[in-house]
């Protein structure tokens, strides 16, 4: 069918015209950028068209409607497919305060500026940058992992907020995914968890095109994906040709009819023009088609070969008459339902409104524990568990769990009302993620984009398994909370395989990530008080296995200084130190002991507690200089981890007492002595610095 701006078309022709508009916009965007992946958008455009036009419960004019269906493009390299859909559907922009703006989320100019500086159409879809992007995708496996968390959130919201006659939440999650998502380990973890939880609101639509960047998928991938997912407990349906809109629709209706498990819809597509047996090498390998191949592709579609970014008359109107009209009716009906719900259940409606704005309920910090001075003390994981439970009593949507380590991480919510989140019992607040650290971290991001205050726990060392999802939480500026225990060689006999050494430095290097390593129980309380109001920062709360002395706050400065990241804990009488001892976590008490002995010898010492260098760095220069006076050059940092990064605080004339090697297997007290984390060592280093200054 030839196309021109004046073409008059039948309904069936309009479908084809719309699909080919999606394809050619994707081709042109990639071609103009000289960068990107045109193949998947070309091949999967019919599936996107069918889903958005016929099934997706989404209002382009109200894209933050809480009960909207979620669409996740896990194969984020196909981003032009999503940008084309956002443009053609007329999705409106939303600002940081969730106000709908009178401008499109993606304009035609944005598509023309694909992958360019400051564009709203970056190479991979980015949450918060472009309205309509439900989660940042690109690293394969992360989108499908996030989708499990979004599905968990949907079922949890249904269980806790729906009431008879008021179905406030019943949204579904649709995910486009690729062979790469099936190969990545996090995808397997996520699929296993979703199958175990029997999440019926989740549908992965698998683009089985048998092509990877290296070449044919069967060079590296030959398993029967359908059999694997059936073993996970999923419903599996198969569409033999992505161009068969009726078959695609049947597959989606089967998902709707499946009430007891998630659905995998395997769709065979053909990278390139989207035609059987027609495959383009560049499209298959993630490159622009090139001028000649672009002309051939457009000719194949019946498109003007020289036209660029052509949107024929009637196409955008067709989407407005489909997803636009349906979404408007659905969201309007929901708004009226929520108005009546607010009248009948004002407390629940108030919670939902606060959740949507990432606000905390009034009195969220009431009843938090305080800890009396105690030389023996308490492990910071223990004090954290007590604080977490107090907070959970005040914040109903604070939910989470652990990767099979809840009893060690102290992440169990003990209230009888908390309950367990399990298949068929989706109202519980305690989650059992199993030994799936990466899958847990990715699911937590999905829960966080759904506005739940989500936390997840494991041993600190195992952030190595979680890091890709943690990094995306930082990129997305999500307030995901990681409760990370067994924080140093102080965990003892498990040895170097379990003893984190470099993890603190590496997480502190991650933009937007806030790392806390509190030094006693009351610092733990203050850390949580700082964490909870955060809206745009993930937090790594790093906690000890071993007991930490609870510092006497009648003798030393109050723990409220934690809110500034670092503060003066102990000082000479006149506040003019000759040497500064900087400590975190379990080593803070060593600095206090060293301070007492140095003071007894007439040496003017200051102790600085630095539970969060990230928060400290946010303070103004006047405050930072008041804590670490530039004129005091003798400075010692003490932390049972890599010294990398501490040079910023100790300076060229200071010293960083830390780990230069991996740890060892032995009782904690023996390890601390072997690696130099003793009061005597701190004093020795401090005196040596004073002797040089």
Tell me if 390 is assigned to some domain. Answer: yes
> For residue 213, what pLDDT is reported?
76
> For residue 96, what pLDDT is reported?
87
> For residue 460, what pLDDT is reported?
97
pLDDT at 561 over 50: yes
Query: Which residue range(s) make up the domain with 200?
Result: 11-331
pLDDT at 278 over 50: no
Residues 202 and 321 in one domain: yes
Which residue in 31, 126, 287, 437 is the catalytic one? 437
Residues 467 and 572 in one domain: no
Q: Which residue has the tokens 């430095």?
A: 505
Average pLDDT for residues 341-365, to the nearest whole number? Answer: 97
Average pLDDT for residues 503-516, to the nearest whole number? Answer: 98
Which pLDDT band holds residue 277 (cuts at 50, 70, 90)? Answer: very low
**Higher pLDDT among residues 627 and 213, named by residue:** 627
Residues 154 and 85 in one domain: yes
Which pLDDT band holds residue 5 (cuts at 50, 70, 90)? Answer: very low
Tell me if 586 is assigned to some domain. Answer: yes
pLDDT at 284 over 70: no
> For residue 286, what pLDDT is reported?
65
- CA dist 139 and 13 (Å) reads 36
pLDDT at 417 over 50: yes
Question: Tokens in use for 258?
Answer: 């499946």
> For residue 272, what pLDDT is reported?
58
pLDDT at 449 over 80: yes
Average pLDDT for residues 484-512, to the nearest whole number? Answer: 96
Residues 492 and 605 in one domain: no
Tell me if 559 is assigned to some domain. Answer: no
**For the chain, percent of residues with pLDDT exceeding 90:** 92
pLDDT at 2 over 60: no
CATH of the domain at 683: 3.40.50.920
pLDDT at 530 over 70: yes
pLDDT in tens, 40-60: 999 999 999 999 999 999 999
Which pLDDT band holds residue 636 (cuts at 50, 70, 90)? Answer: very high
Average pLDDT for residues 87-109, to the nearest whole number? Answer: 95
> For residue 9, what pLDDT is reported?
62
Tell me if 198 is assigned to some domain. Answer: yes
Which pLDDT band holds residue 6 (cuts at 50, 70, 90)? Answer: very low
- Cβ burial 100-132 (10 Å sphere, 16+ → b, else e): eeeebbbeeebbbbbbeeebbbbbbbbbeebbb
pLDDT at 274 over 60: no
Examine the fold and report which residue of 495, 520, 548 is the final residue of a domain before the chain moves on.
Answer: 548
pLDDT at 281 over 80: no
Which DSSP helix (H) or strand (E) runs through 103?
strand 100-104
Tell me if 308 is assigned to some domain. Answer: yes
Tell me if 369 is assigned to some domain. Answer: no
Nearest to 613 by CA among 585, 634, 640: 585
Tally of structural domains, the chain: 3
Residues 474 and 580 in one domain: no
Residues 541 and 575 in one domain: no
- CA dist 265 and 287 (Å) reads 27
Question: Tokens in use for 428?
Answer: 């519980």
- CA dist 337 and 355 (Å) reads 18
**For the chain, percent of residues with pLDDT exceeding 70:** 96
Residues 390 and 503 in one domain: yes
- 276 with 268: CB under 8 angstroms? no
> For residue 209, what pLDDT is reported?
86
Mean pLDDT of the chain: 95
Residues 505 and 406 in one domain: yes
477 is catalytic: no
pLDDT in tens, 162-199: 999 999 999 999 999 999 999 999 999 999 999 999 99
- CA dist 545 and 487 (Å) reads 7
CATH of the domain at 421: 3.40.50.970
- CA dist 514 and 388 (Å) reads 18
């Amino acid at each position: 069918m030839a196309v021109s701006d004046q073409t008059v078309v039948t309904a069936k022709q309009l479908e084809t015209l719309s699909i080919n508009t999606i394809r050619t916009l994707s081709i042109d965007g990639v071609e103009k950028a000289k960068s990107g992946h045109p193949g998947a958008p070309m091949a999967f455009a019919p599936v996107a068209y069918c889903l958005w036009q016929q099934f997706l419960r989404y209002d382009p004019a109200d894209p933050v409607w809480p009960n909207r269906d979620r669409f996740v493009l896990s194969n984020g390299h196909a981003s032009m497919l999503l940008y084309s859909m956002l443009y053609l559907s007329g999705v409106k922009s939303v600002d940081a305060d969730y106000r709908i703006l009178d401008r499109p989320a993606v304009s035609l100019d944005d598509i023309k500026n694909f992958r360019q500086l400051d564009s709203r159409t970056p190479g991979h879809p980015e949450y918060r940058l472009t309205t309509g992007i439900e989660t940042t995708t690109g690293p394969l496996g992360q989108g499908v992992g996030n989708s499990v968390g979004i599905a968990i959130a949907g079922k949890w919201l249904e269980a806790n907020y729906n009431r008879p006659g008021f179905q406030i939440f019943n949204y579904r999650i649709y995910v486009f995914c690729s062979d790469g998502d099936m190969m990545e380990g996090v995808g397997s973890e996520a699929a296993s968890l979703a199958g175990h939880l029997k999440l019926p609101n989740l549908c992965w639509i698998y683009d089985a095109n048998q092509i990877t960047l290296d070449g044919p998928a069967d060079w590296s991938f030959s398993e029967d994906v359908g059999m694997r997912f059936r073993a996970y407990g999923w419903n599996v349906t198969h569409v033999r040709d992505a161009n068969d809109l009726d078959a695609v629709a049947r597959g989606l209706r089967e998902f709707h009819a499946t009430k007891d498990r998630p659905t995998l819809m395997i769709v065979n597509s053909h990278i390139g023009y989207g035609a059987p047996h027609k495959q383009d090498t560049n499209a298959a390998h993630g490159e622009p088609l090139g001028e000649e191949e672009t002309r051939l592709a457009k000719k194949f579609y019946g498109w003007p070969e020289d036209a660029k970014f052509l949107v024929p008359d009637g196409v955008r109107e067709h989407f407005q008459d489909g997803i636009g009209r349906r979404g408007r009716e659905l969201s309007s009906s929901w708004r009226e339902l929520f108005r009546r719900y607010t009248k009948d259940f004002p407390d629940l409606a108030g919670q939902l409104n606060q959740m949507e704005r990432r606000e905390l309920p009034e009195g969220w910090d009431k009843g938090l524990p305080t800890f009396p001075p105690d030389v023996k003390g308490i492990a910071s994981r223990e004090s954290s568990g007590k604080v977490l439970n107090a907070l959970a009593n005040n914040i109903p949507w604070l939910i989470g769990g652990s990767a099979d380590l809840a009893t060690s991480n102290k992440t169990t919510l003990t209230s009888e009302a908390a309950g367990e989140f399990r298949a068929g019992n989706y109202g519980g607040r305690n989650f059992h993620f199993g030994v799936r650290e990466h899958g847990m971290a990715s699911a937590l991001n999905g829960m966080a984009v759904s506005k739940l205050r989500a936390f997840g726990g494991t041993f600190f060392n195992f952030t190595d398994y979680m890091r890709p999802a943690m990094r995306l939480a930082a990129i997305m500026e999500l307030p995901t909370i990681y409760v990370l225990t067994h924080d140093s060689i102080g965990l003892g006999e498990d040895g170097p395989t379990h003893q984190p050494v470099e993890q603190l430095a590496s997480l502190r290097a991650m933009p937007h990530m806030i790392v806390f390593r509190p030094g006693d129980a009351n610092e733990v309380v203050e850390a949580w008080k700082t964490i909870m109001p955060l809206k745009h920062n993930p937090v790594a709360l790093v906690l000890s296995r071993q007991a930490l002395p609870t510092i006497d706050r009648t003798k030393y400065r109050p723990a409220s200084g934690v809110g500034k990241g670092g503060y003066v804990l102990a000082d000479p009488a006149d506040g003019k130190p000759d040497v500064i001892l900087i400590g975190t976590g379990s080593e803070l008490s060593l600095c206090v002991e060293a301070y007492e002995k140095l003071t007894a010898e007439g040496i003017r010492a200051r102790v600085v507690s630095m539970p969060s260098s990230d928060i400290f760095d946010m303070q103004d220069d006047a405050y930072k200089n008041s804590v670490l006076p530039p004129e005091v050059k003798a400075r010692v940092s003490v932390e049972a981890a890599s010294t990398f990064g501490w040079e910023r605080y100790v300076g060229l004339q200071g010293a960083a007492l830390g780990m230069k090697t991996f740890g060892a297997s032995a009782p904690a007290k023996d390890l601390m002595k072997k690696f130099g984390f003793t009061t005597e060592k701190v004093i020795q280093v401090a005196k040596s610095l004073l002797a040089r200054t």
